[in-house]
């Protein structure tokens, strides 16, 4: 984990907690740390199970509520990859804009960054007169890996 990024994310969370009049609990900071230690796109159930495996006693409702707070603050991004899937999340503070490629068989998420997308965004801003604040590009494909689990999840 990049300690500097985590520390800055913690300052942002502290500010939001104070604004909302919430308590600064060890559970909130533990969840933030767990997320910022990850490099994947996770479901809340996975996050909860990983925290519980470390013998940290926490309720599933707390994990859901804290993750939603982190989404609201902009420290975590929520994704819905496909219609039949649970939401997935990823840390967002200190990360570069990227797009996603999803395997329709095993649901694996691949990230990619292509500067041409940024060029398209600039062209659209000029054409429309709108200042684009964010974008999302999700492509769906099929793994060519022999160990891809074919479950027809899409």
Q: How buried is 79 (Cβ within 10 angstroms: 0-12 exposed, 13-18 middle, 19+ buried)?
A: middle
DSSP secondary structure string for all residues of 66-104: HHHHHHHHTSEEEE--STTS--EEEE-TT----EEEEET
Q: Is 113 annotated as a binding residue?
A: no
Does 148 count as an annotated binding residue? no
Contacts of 128 (CB under 8 A, 6+ apart): none
Q: Is 103 annotated as a binding residue?
A: yes
Beta-sheet pairing, 138-141 with 76-79: unpaired
- The 10 Å CB-count burial string (b at 16+, else e) for 89-101 is bbbbbeeeeeebe
Residues in binding site for Zn(2+): 103, 106, 143
Residues in binding site: 103, 106, 135, 143
Residues in binding site for Fe cation: 135
């Amino acid at each position: 984990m990049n300690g500097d990024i985590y520390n800055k994310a913690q300052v942002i969370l502290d500010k939001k907690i104070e604004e909302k009049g919430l308590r600064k609990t060890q559970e909130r900071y533990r969840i933030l740390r767990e997320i910022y230690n990850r490099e994947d796109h996770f479901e809340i159930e996975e996050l909860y199970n990983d925290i519980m495996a470390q013998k940290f006693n926490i309720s599933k409702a707390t994990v859901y509520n804290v993750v939603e707070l982190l989404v609201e603050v902009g420290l975590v991004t929520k994704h819905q990859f496909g219609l039949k899937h649970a939401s997935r999340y990823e840390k967002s503070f200190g990360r570069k804009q990227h797009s996603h490629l999803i395997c329709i068989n095993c649901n694996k998420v691949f990230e990619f960054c292509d500067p041409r997308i940024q060029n398209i965004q600039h062209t659209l801003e000029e054409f429309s007169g709108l200042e684009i604040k964010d974008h999302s590009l999700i492509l769906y494909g099929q793994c060519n890996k022999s160990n891809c689990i074919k479950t027809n999840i899409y």
